[in-house]
Amino acid sequence: MYRVVFAPEAEAQLVAIHEYIAVSASPEIAARFTNAIVSECESLRTLPLRGTRRDSIRPGLRTFGFRRQATIAFEVAGCVVTILGIFYRGRDFESVLKE
């Protein structure tokens, strides 16, 4: 079993997504959506190598979409999956994650 950790940038992005949805929709909808993102990220404990490899952006980078609303970027090193970013509604993750 792998361990999932969130980089500080990913945590900040999750908070920003929650705040945006809470204002534009409702706090309840925001909580459901962001909790679902966290659950999806935590599911990488058992299937850490899913998603699309994006080595052209950053070696070891993988991404997958979440409900056609967000892109989750992560890397796997040893037994740890690090969530590097949660990019909402088409934000440019490629330029942010290039080394």
pLDDT band at 68 (very low <50, low <70, confident <90, very high): confident
Residue 69 reports pLDDT greater than 70: yes
Q: How far apart are CA 8 and CA 84, in angstroms?
A: 8
Residues 64-79 have a mean pLDDT of: 92
Cβ-contact 63, 20 below 8 angstroms: no
> The domain 3-97 belongs to what CATH superfamily?
RelE-like (3.30.2310.20)
Domain residue ranges in the chain: 3-97
Q: Would you state the pLDDT for residue 22? A: 96
> Crossing angle for the helix pair 27-42 and 8-24, nearest 10 degrees?
150
Q: How far apart are CA 19 and CA 27, in angstroms?
A: 8
Residue 10 reports pLDDT greater than 70: yes
**pLDDT tens-place string over residues 32-42:** 999 999 999 99
Residues 65-93 have a mean pLDDT of: 89
Which backbone phi and psi does 60 adopt, to 5 degrees?
Answer: 85, -5
Q: Where do the DSSP E strands lie in the chain?
A: 3-6, 52-53, 61-66, 70-77, 80-88
Q: Average pLDDT over the chain, rounded to whole?
A: 91
Q: Would you state the pLDDT for residue 96? A: 65
Predicted structure pTM score:
0.89
